[in-house]
Chain A
Amino acid sequence: MASSTDKTVTLPAGADPPLVTGNLGFHDITQLVSYHTEKRPPSAWYMAIAVSSTLLCILLIMIAYLVWNGIGVWGNNNPVGWGWPIVNFVFWVGIGHAGTLISAILFLFRQKWRTAINRSAEAMTLFAVICALLFPTIHVGRIWVIYWTLPIPNQMEMWPQFKSPLLWDVFAVSVYFIVSLIFWYVGLVPDLATLRDRARNALRRRVTGFFALGWTGANRHWRNYEKTYLLLAALATPLVLSVHSVVSFDFAISIIPGWHTTIFPPYFVAGAIFSGFAMVMTLLILARKIYGIQNIITMDHLEKMAIIILLTGTMVGFAYITEFFIAWYSQVEYEQYAFLNRATGPYAWAYWTMMSCNLLFPQFFWIKRLRRSIPFLFITSIVVNIGMWFERFVITVISLHRDFLPSSWDYFNPTIVDVLTLAGSFGLFLTLFLIFLRYLPMVAIAEVKMVLPESDPHFYHKDESEEH
């Protein structure tokens, strides 16, 4: 491992371009990221929070109206007992997959580019999972007995039914939320210490100091910290793959044609990653511009996300086609009808919206120029999420609206409460995300410093060879 003495940078020839551009040093990164939590937010932030908190108020009013009147205020009725609330639940839980994928799976694969986006993606995950947990909770109708889903001793001396996939879902999504939360918090601790050490007023120092837990960046602490981070990544990796698998069991364990298929778990997981990355992209394209951190979240980062969207979108499209093939190959009449009805029945408009948004549109990402075009990325990221909402609509509603008994067949129509609740859930999501942008470092400061070549002691030991 002899290296010549005049070589200043230890990166081998032909290495990847630097992850952080603009020649930023350690202090520049601290400054660039922390500064936004310390100054007055830009006016775009105020405009955004005005809109999102209005939507949040609408959500709260809709929930109050729902709890008072019962779930008859929604379009759910026979035969479509699972309408928009379940569509929205699956939609939000899917979006909540990108964060932990980025923080856990990309960490295990040593994808260093994740450091620029993992913090905001994890925050987004948490808020999306909050939105997701909301829908089944209000969907039970009698929200005041929602604790029956948890194994808590009660006056009826009854327990939850552990053989039900709906109960697995309660566990899967709650555990996912808790594990994502502590993963996110562990990552935040060193950055909260940074904010504490920069704080100029006592209140700020106390609040950040409280949550920083007295972190001093001691190497004895980093040693346990890094091990814990690795372990959490290893634990969260199967977890993130399991959550949407369990969500898909809600459908797949049942006997409804179009739901009862073994392809559901991998197909749902791919779709979740697909929609999650799209949402991360929508949010980060705006945030990096408004907060001026294009040197940390670079064009290369966006391009890598576009490649993941292309990959997972193609996987999802492949699953759509496989479903059709299997329906034909199975020779089961009901299964064949369910799929023909999807593509040609009364909901064909929803089906073809889904197909074009999810399978066709991302194919443009084969072209490098489009992968690096901010307007195109932004439009695609929104189109993908529209498509993914329709995917859940297609799965949930189309399979249900043709019951086994033709006399029950009906066409599902949402009510205004359905529409406003969905819009309101975006208000909840965006309000939480905007509060996060305002008060917490949106980029993992310590982790981004680690990907600078200057963070490696070998950078300074030019002629040393015994350390390799």
Chain B
Amino acid sequence: MLKKIIQQIKATMGVYESRADGVYGLLAEYSNPGTLIDAARKVHAAGFRHFDTHTPFPIHGMDRAMGLGQSKVGYITLIGGLCGLGLATWLQWWTSAVDYPLNISGKPFFAIEPSIPIMFELTVLLSALFAVGGMFLLNGLPRPYNPLFYSRAFTRASDDAFFLHIAASDKNFDLEETESMLREAGATAVEVIHDHGYSELHKA
């Protein structure tokens, strides 16, 4: 049960289990962002959920095509900001009014007005740290090992190539049928990715 939940959480990060025979998934290459977004739409309509597109830059409209909702980073950032604000308020009040009060020209030991700069700075600092930390957490990064790296063609995903990957862990996954579906959607090449350190290229 717990294992299932962990697997599901990992799947939202794009980290999938490989099949018992070591097949990790199918990697299909498309010629441009236009055909890729159409293919993603078809794959989503066919009921696949464990799939992702890999592109050198974010593609406008892909979240909707893949059926993904809003990113949760905003909530994490809000928590960070509130923590920062709370920390700054507590720090300034406790150090200057409780732990070591110093009377300077009869000014109050703690007041909101002179505390605002530090409150602002720590709010921004913790929001930013939480935003970036939350982003990496939700993305399952850093991820030094990824079976997709076995594909030679995949190095171009950060250059000028557009890939769609369907993981073998998806309940609809079938090696032959899924491959022909990807080809029908316009794939120029399809590779079977194995978790054991190699990939088989099936040219169109």
Interface residues of A, Cβ cutoff 8 Å to B: 25-27, 30, 151, 157-163, 165, 167-168, 171-172, 175, 178-179, 182-183, 186, 190, 193-194, 196-198, 209, 213-228, 231-232, 235-236, 238-239, 242, 246, 249, 445-447, 449-450, 454-461, 467
Within B106-160, the residues touching A (CB, 8 Å) are 107, 114-115, 117-118, 120-122, 124-125, 127-129, 131-132, 134-136, 138-139, 141-146, 148, 154-160
* Shortest Cβ distance from residue B117 to the other chain A in the assembled complex, whole angstroms: 4
Check if A30 sits within 8 Å of B160, measured CB to CB. Answer: yes
Cβ of B54 and Cβ of A218 under 8 Å apart?
Answer: yes
Query: Would you call the interface of chain A mostly helix, strand, loop, or mixed?
Result: helix
Choose among B33, B114, B139, B157 the residue that contacts A197 (Cβ–Cβ < 8 A): B157
- Complex Cα distance A423/B58, Å? 43
15 example contacts (A-B, Cβ-Cβ < 8 A) are as follows: A161-B96, A162-B95, A163-B107, A186-B135, A217-B55, A219-B53, A220-B14, A221-B14, A224-B73, A226-B71, A231-B77, A232-B128, A232-B132, A236-B124, A242-B120
- On B, residues with C-beta under 8 Å from A are 12-14, 32-37, 40, 52-63, 66, 68, 70-74, 77, 91-92, 95-96, 99-100, 102, 104, 107, 114-115, 117-118, 120-122, 124-125, 127-129, 131-132, 134-136, 138-139, 141-146, 148, 154-160
The distance from the CB of B87 to the nearest CB of chain A, in whole angstroms, is: 10
Q: Is there contact, CB below 8 Å, between A168 and B118?
A: yes
Report the bound CA distance from A56 to B52 in whole Å: 48
Tell me whether B160 and A178 are in contact (CB under 8 A): no
Question: By the criterion CB–CB under 8 Å, are B142 and A197 in contact?
Answer: no
Is there an interface contact between A218 and B131, defined as CB atoms closer than 8 Å? no
Q: How far is the CA of A233 from the CA of B186 in the complex (A)?
A: 37
Q: Which B residues lie within 8 Å of A226 (CB)?
A: 58, 71
Known: A178-B125, A231-B74, A455-B59. A171 touches B159 (CB 8 A): no
Q: Which residue of B lies closest to A185 (CB)?
A: B132
Task: Looking at the assembled complex, report how far the CB atom of B57 sits from the nearest CB atom of chain A, in whole angstroms.
Answer: 5
Which residue of chain B is the closest to A215 with respect to CB atoms? B141
B113 and chain A: residue at smallest CB distance: A163
How many angstroms from the CA of A408 to the CA of B107 in the assembled complex?
30
Contacts of A165 in B (CB 8 A): 117
A217 contacts B158, CB within 8 Å?
yes
Would you call A227 and B117 a contact (CB within 8 A)?
Answer: no
Q: Are B124 and A179 in contact (CB under 8 A)?
A: yes
Most chain A CB within a 10 A radius of its CB, from B14, B53, B57: B57
